[in-house]
Structure formats: C-alpha cells, structure tokens
Amino acid sequence: MNRLLHSSSALTLLAIAAVVGSSGAEARDFTVASWGGGLQEAQRQAFIKPFETKYSVKTTEDVYLGGWAKFQTMAETKQVVWDIVNVESAEMARGCEEGVFAKIDYAKLGTPKSDFTPGGADECGIGAYTFAFVVAYNEDLTKVAPKTMLDFWDTQKWPGRRGLRKGAHYNLEFALLSDGVPAADVYKVLNTKDGVARAFRKLSTIKSQVIWWEAPAQVADLLASGNVVMSIAPNARISDARKAGKNLGMVFQPGMIGIDYWVMLAGTPFPTQAYDFLKVVSDPKQQERFTAAFAYAPTNRKTEALLDAKAVALLPIGTKVSGALLTSSVEANRFWADHGDEINAEWNNWLAK
Amino acid sequence: MEQLAGKIDPARIRGAQGRHLRAALVPLAPAVIFLLVVFVFPIAAIFYYAVDTGDARAAFPRTRLAIASWSGADLPDAQAYQALVEDLRGAFVSRAIYPAARELNNRMPGFRSIVISAGRQAQAWPPESGREALLAVDPVWGSVDHWRAISSAVAPFTAYRLLAALDLRPQWNGLPVAAPVDQRIYVRYLGRTLWICAVVTVYCLVLGYPLAYLIATTSPSVARWLLTLTLLPFWTSILVRTAAWVVILQQQGVVNGSLQWAGLIEQPLTLIYNRVGVYVVMTHVLLPFMVLPIYSVMKGIPANLLPAAASLGARPIAAFVQVYLPQSQPGIAAGCLMTFILALGYYVTPALVGGATDQMESGLIAHFALNEGNWGMAASLAVILVLVVLLAYALYARFSRGKALQWA
C-alpha cells in the first residue's frame, strides 16, 4: 500500500515538473495580431491566407484591441508572442522610440518609400490603411438624419444614448474639434493643461448618456440593436454593416482620419517570414482585395488604379474628408507618446466620477 | 473498563498518530507543492510587485549611491548631478530609461518626457556634465520636489503605490497625507465594489435560501430536478450567460418587448448598461454558490425538529426563526462568504452590462495590468482586495463558529 502511494506521488511530482519545465521551451507558430471582426476577416482573405499559401508558413491569428501594455510586457519579459501586429500610429511611434518594433529596411522589402501615400511608409511601420472616424447613427431611430459630427452632442434634437470608444485617445481630439478648435491647432491645445480640461468639460456634457465600447466590432451591434442612437465608429465597420443589411448611416465632416500600421516585433523569432508578410501587405494586388472587402483607403499608390468606382465611393478620401484632423501625424504621435500615461490616469479619474 | 484504562498508553497513541500523519504527508505532498506553485508564490509575487522599485533602481545606480545620505531639505550636491547625468546617458542607451521614466511620471506627472529627453540630449554632452547642463534643458532639475521623487523611486522599496491605492500620498517626513481632491478615486472604487458585492450577496441570500429550503425538504425526485436546474448554469460559459442577458435586457430585448406588448409600459425601460443590469446578472451567476452551501447544511438538519417544536406549542414562524434558522446559520455564513468573495473578483460582467459608474475594483486591476502595463499599481490594488477578503473571512469565522457550536 505504501509503495503504491509513494510511486503515485512521485509520478505526480514528475508530471508537475514536466509541465512547469516545458512551458519555457514552446515552439510557436508565426503570429499576426489585428483588431478582430470584419477588419481581420478582410485581412485574412487578402493578406494572411495568400501569405500562408505563397510562403508555406503556418500562421496563427490573435486579436489586439489597442494600448501599450502587451508590448511592454513583451519587452520586459523578453517573451515575444506576436510577430506582426496592426497597431495605431501612437503605439507605432512609441514602439519605434523604445526599440520594441524593428526598423524596416525598404530595400529588403522591395517596395521603395516613394510608392506609398504620405505617411504610409514609416521608419518602423508600413501603413496598413487610412481610416476615418465617423458619427454613425441608426437610421430607424433618428427621424431627422444628423448633418455633421457635431450633432452627436445635441441630446435635445436626438435624444438617446451615445457610443464612444473607451479611452482618452481620439475622444479628446473629437471633443476639442466639436468645441470649435480648428483641426490644425488641436494638438497644440491638447498640449496644455487647459486644453485637456476643456476636452474633458466637453465630454462631461454627455457623459451620463454614453456607452463605452472597447472592440470596434461592437459598434455596429450597439447601433443596430438600438442600444445607442449615435456612436463614433471607424467608417469601414459601418460600411460593412450596411453591406450586411443594417440600416446605419454615417457623417464624415468635420472629419478625423488616421493611418494604422503593420509593425514587426524587434525580437521576433521569424524575421524572414515577417519581411515576407510585409511584402504581401504592401503588394497593390493584395491591397486591392482588402480595400474591396473593407472600406479603408490603401497605402500603396499603385492600388488606386486597380480599384473599381463602387469601392472608391466608400473610401475615406477626397472631399468627404477634406480638412479632416490627421490623428496619426508626427505631432499627434509625439503628444500621445509623451503624455499618454498621465492622460490615461486622468481619464480613469474622470470616468470613475 | 477500569482494567482497560490502566493498559492505555498515551505515548503509544501519540506515536500511532504521528505515523498516521507522516503516512498522510506523502500523498499530500503533490497537492501542497501544487498549492505553493499556483497559489502561494503568485500571491507573494503580487505583494512584492506592489512595493518593488526595480525599474528605477536599475536605471539610476550611481544616483542612488550619490543621494544615499541626502537630507532632502535642499538640492543635492554637484556629485549627485554628475551621477544623474551619467545614469541618464547609460539608461537611454540600454533602454532602461523607459520603465524608470514611467515610475517617476507616477510621482510627478509630466516627468516622463523630461527624463527621456534629458537622456537623449545627454548623449552629446561632454563627460563631467552636471547641474548646468541639466538646468539648461529644463528648470525642473532644480526642483527639490522632483529630486525627492527620484530619491523615493530608487529606494529599496516604496509604499507609494499602496498609499495611492488608498488615495493617500507619502510626505517627505513619512506621514501620509490625503491626495488632491481631483485625484481621489480608489477609495470610491473600493466603496462601490464593496457595496455592489454586499447588495448582490443579500439578493442571492433572499432568493437562494427559500430555494435551498425547497430542495432540502421536498421529495427526492423533485429535489433532484431542482438541483439539476440550479446547477445547469455551471455548464454554460459565463460569457455566454452574460451575452444572453444583454439580449434579454436591452432596449428592444425580451423583457422590454413583452412589457410593451402587454401594454404595461410605453417607453422601454433602461435595464442594461447601468446598475440594474449589474445586479441582475451578478445575482443570476452567483446564485448557485449561495444555494449549494445552504442546501448542504439544511440536508443535515433533522426533519423532525420543526414538528417537535410545533408539538411544544411554537407557532410556525416562531419555530422557524428559533429552531430552523439558527441551525442553518453555518450554511448561510458559508454561502454569503463564497458569494461575496466571488463577487469581489467579477469585472467582466460589470464591464459588459454595467455603465461607467458601475465598474469594480477588479476591473481597475485588470485595466492597469492589461491595458496600461502598470503591474505595480495593479499589484497594489490587488493587495488591498486580498486584505478585504481576509477581513471577510475573519468575520465569517466569527459568525459561523460561535452559535453553531451551541447546538452541537
């Protein structure tokens, strides 16, 4: 009896040791992380699957919903769990400065920087797409359609709840734009304590009516189910929902556009595969497939010639977004890299009250 | 009996008990090691992270030595400034400056960009640069408060974050002081969390006690059905349940639709993305944890006690309150403890069905850890929660052992 007990407990100890020991030496697949929902589906069809077939690299996908924490953990623990990520410009700039994202060798890539649209080719990131933040509304619940993004704040004419993305980023800019600050001065004003306070004051006027969404894929559902009457949303999510038959409208002006980037993690164990993936995402033919499926503007100049008029009509380019605030400018990135932490702390304070 | 009493040897009994204990240790060892690895070590690590200052100490070793004997009353000497410039130069190259700058930014908002820009510019400075070079970059390098922040950040450990989690700030003389009014949020979060958990526990008790009574006293076949139905939610994922509640409670959902169809309301009620939604969903999810401990205690209460009390002249309500309820008290205590402690850890549910003012402390911990990467602050808030749990357990111990033993 004792012998059985001794041997069974020895086996258990061995099993635990094996589990604990093996967790350090796991080989993982090449991993690409993006924002989920319709966007990731379009990227899967246009980039990830063709990449898998052409270069015979088994690829795993993951979801990334913004923020710096994941990359900080990777930098501190030296455990790189993602290889290519679709990040926002603020994270791209911060990662470049802190050495978390690798610098891109455009000669190795095969596509010169001049082939990209302005802002589409950065030191550490290749432009994934240009998006616009619009004010989307439920057409069935709004008797009169809103004309500009500023109608978002009018709860008398359009009573009901509002949707905003959770977090200070983009909301402070939207608040200042709606408060009358010209697009060229938004970041100058935000750089002052008074400017930040002004943005929070504007947001406080509708705070009690707001539902805060975290994943962009949530917005269309919130609008379609009637939980919110109007919401800030990325334009392509709404176009996607309209394609699926939901009655959602959107207004672009005064406009907030930005560029998101594909970045490569500096410590990736798959450097060749990562460059191959970047080649695929900068290929005009693949970008055309992506843009046709998801209404974000491409970053390779040569893609425009391949697009048909129907797809172009949905893109956030041209007169639709003339005068729009560029949320991925050097000024914007510098602001969020320098002050993001303390503004997030202030945001938490404000949200909790 | 007297004969046997003489032959019982206490030493032999102790020896037998010792052998039993040693024999039990062997199969117990894997469980103990498992608990150490997945429970004790992580919690000890959290306590360590709450007070650790590794980031800044690693980035500023020379400065730490130079200000070791600094009084803090006035600016430090030239040697400290030179040491700081050396450290900034090295930390920028090694990239250690970034976590250190974040740590300093926690104490003095705005310090991060100043530290990083000083590190960047220090690359081009001649050796032996010190006070003048730093003051030329930014006047805050001549501020005693900022030097005190550096000193506190390179100390062996820091109570800054633990105090911040209670809306206090440390002072140079050691006594904590309340944080500025516009920065006080954590105590409010804690109070709100405790209130929501207490309310949910009460709702679960009010709904769960009668249900447990029913299951414990009806016929076995009915009881089996009721127990299965009570346990059924365990077999579905909690996220699926929460999502289902969103469908039921939303503006055009099942509840509002039925009420409007029955003509009871005109405008849909707001049942979700507010406190109502949080209470409803959390009560639903935690109900089985209240029902099962109470049921298991009730099962052990003799079925003839209430008729016996009636035969002694007690009216039904008096019999219940004086006889049955005290007997079921250990179950109530256990159920309340389990429900309360589980409710403390819930943050996904309030995040999905609550509004901005319904977020709980564990949501804040998740936010700091996952969204901001500020593990120090997350650990400090977690330490506070652990202390609250220990307090709840102490209350439970006091209430569950006292009266139950009277009836043993």
Contact between chains at A16 and B356 (C-beta distance less than 8 A): no
B 191-230 → A contacts, CB under 8 A: none
Non-local CB neighbours of B406 within 8 Å, separated by 6+ positions: none
How close does chain A come to B185, measured CA to CA in Å? 6
> Can you tell me the distance from the alpha carbon of A120 to that of B101, in angstroms, rounded to the nearest whole number?
30
> Does the ipTM surpass 0.90?
no
Q: What is the DSSP string of A242-256?
A: HHTT--EEEEEEEEE
A241 CA: distance to closest CA in chain B (Å): 19
Closest CA of chain A from B354, distance in Å: 9
Whether the CA torsion B42, B48, B51, B54 is positive or negative: it is negative
User: Is B373 in contact with A227 (Cβ distance < 8 A)?
Assistant: no
Q: Minimal Cα–Cα distance from B362 to chain A, Å?
A: 14
Q: Which long-range contacts (CB under 8 A, 24 or more apart) does A20-29 make?
A: A20/B37, A28/A60, A28/A81, A29/A58, A29/A59, A29/A60
pLDDT of residue A11: 59
pLDDT tens for B332-342 read: 999 999 999 99
Q: What is the pLDDT of residues B132-177, one digit of tens each?
A: 888 888 888 988 889 988 998 888 888 888 998 998 888 887 788 8
The alpha carbon of residue A2 is apart from the nearest alpha carbon of chain B, in Å, by: 8
* B371 shares contact with chain A (CB less than 8 Å): yes
Residue B183 touches partner A, C-beta closer than 8 Å: yes
d(CA B50, CA A323) in angstroms, rounded, equals 47
Residues of B in contact with A161 (CB under 8 A): 273
Under the banding of pLDDT at 50, 70 and 90, the label for residue B407 is: very low
CB contact under 8 A, A67 and B273: no
Smallest Cα distance from B284 to chain A, Å: 22
Q: What is the pLDDT of residue A20?
A: 55
pLDDT digits (tens, 9 = 90+) for B357-397: 888 999 989 988 888 778 888 999 999 999 988 998 888 88
CA torsion B288-B290-B291-B297 (nearest 10°) is: 140
Interface of A with B in 133-172 (CB under 8 A): 161
Q: Are A196 and A343 in contact (CB under 8 A)?
A: yes
Distances (CA, A) of B80 to A39, B53, B115: 53, 20, 16
Chain A neighbors of B272, CB-CB under 8 A: 227
Kindly list the residues from chain B whose CB atom is less than 8 angstroms away from the CB atom of residue A20.
37
Q: What is the pLDDT of residue B405?
A: 43
Distance from CA of A261 to the nearest CA of B (A): 19
Task: Give the C-alpha separation, A248 to A239, whole Å.
Answer: 8
Of A72, A207, A345, the CB nearest to B373: A72
Contact at 8 Å (CB) between A148 and A196? no
What's the confidence (pLDDT) of residue A349?
82
A213 bridge partner residues: A165
List chain B domain ranges: 2-51, 54-156, 186-398
Q: How far from A342 is each of A51, A168, A327, B104, CA to CA, in Å?
A: 40, 11, 19, 11
Chain B residues with beta carbon closer than 8 angstroms to that of A225 = 250-252
A247 interface with B at CB cutoff 8 Å: no
Nearest residue in chain A measured CA to CA from B33: A13
Find chain B residues with C-beta within 8 A of A338's C-beta.
112-113
CA of A14: which chain B residue's CA is closest?
A: B30
> B92, B371, B377: best mutation site toward chain A, by most A Cβ within 10 Å?
B371
Among A227, A229, A333, A347, the strongest candidate for a mutation testing the B interface, having the largest count of B CBs within 10 A, is A227
> In sequence order, what DSSP letters do the residues of B142-163 get, joined into one string?
G-HHHHHHHHHHTSSB--HHHH
Q: Alpha-carbon distance A164 to A230, whole Å? A: 9
Contact flag B356-A207 (C-beta cutoff 8 Å): yes
Which pLDDT value is given to residue B406?
43
Condensed to tens digits (0 to 9), the pLDDT of residues B219-247 reads: 999 999 999 999 888 888 888 999 899 99
pTM of the model: 0.81
**Interface touch A341/B105, C-beta < 8 Å:** yes
Mutate to test the interface with A, among B273, B352, B364 (most CBs of A within 10 A): B273
Candidates A9, A20, A226; nearest CB to B252? A226
pLDDT tens digits, one per residue of A136-158: 999 988 889 999 999 999 999 99
What residue ranges of chain A have pLDDT lower than 50?
A: 1, 24-25
The domain defined by B186-398 carries CATH number 3.40.50.1000: no
DSSP A31-80: EEEE--HHHHHHHIIIIIHHHHHHHT--EEEEE--S-SHHHHHHHHHT--
Q: Which of the residues A1, A213, A225 would you substitute to probe the B interface, choosing the one with the greatest number of B C-beta atoms within 10 Å?
A: A225
Query: Number of A:B CB contacts under 8 A?
Result: 88
CB–CB contact B356 A351 (8 Å): yes
B128 touches chain A (CB under 8 A): no
Residues of chain A in contact with residue B370, where contact means CB-CB under 8 angstroms, are 67, 69-70
With vertex at residue A241, the alpha carbon angle to CA A236 and CA A246, rounded to the nearest 5 degrees, is: 145
pLDDT computed for residue B222 by the predictor: 94
d(CA B149, CA A335): 23
Interface membership of A77 toward B (CB under 8 Å) = no
Contact: A227, B250; criterion CB under 8 Å: yes
- Chain B: give the shortest CA distance to residue A73, in Å: 7
Amino acid at position A196, single letter: V
Tell me whether residues B185 and A20 touch, CB distance under 8 A. no
Q: What's the CA angle centered on B296, arms B294 and B302, to 5 degrees?
A: 100
Query: Token match 């729009």: residue?
Result: A324
Q: What's the confidence (pLDDT) of residue B408?
A: 36
Interface touch B105/A70, C-beta < 8 Å: no
Task: Tell me whether B370 touches chain A (CB under 8 Å).
Answer: yes
Q: Name, in order, each residue with C-beta under 8 angstroms of B80's C-beta and a sequence gap of 6 or more.
A: B63, B66, B67, B70
Inter-chain residue contact B356 with A8, CB threshold 8 Å? no
Which tens digit of pLDDT belongs to each residue from B120-134? 888 888 888 888 888
Burial bucket for residue B40 (CB in 10 Å: 0-12, 13-18, 19+): exposed
Nearest chain A residue to B352, by CA: A213
Closest residue in B to A8 (Cα–Cα): B27
**Cβ B102–A341 below 8 Å, yes or no?**
yes
Instruction: Classify A198 as helix, strand or coil.
Output: helix
Model pLDDT for residues B233-288, shown as the tens digit of each residue? 888 888 899 989 999 998 888 999 999 999 888 888 889 888 999 999 999 999 99
Residue type, A134: V
**Contact: A68, B372; criterion CB under 8 Å:** yes
For residue B66, how far is the Cα from the chain centroid? Answer: 39
CA distances (Å), A26 to each of A22, A79, B372, in order? 7, 11, 27
The DSSP letter of residue A143 is S
Distance CA(A179)–CA(A157), nearest Å, equals 18
Mutate to test the interface with A, among B251, B269, B368, B380 (most CBs of A within 10 A): B251
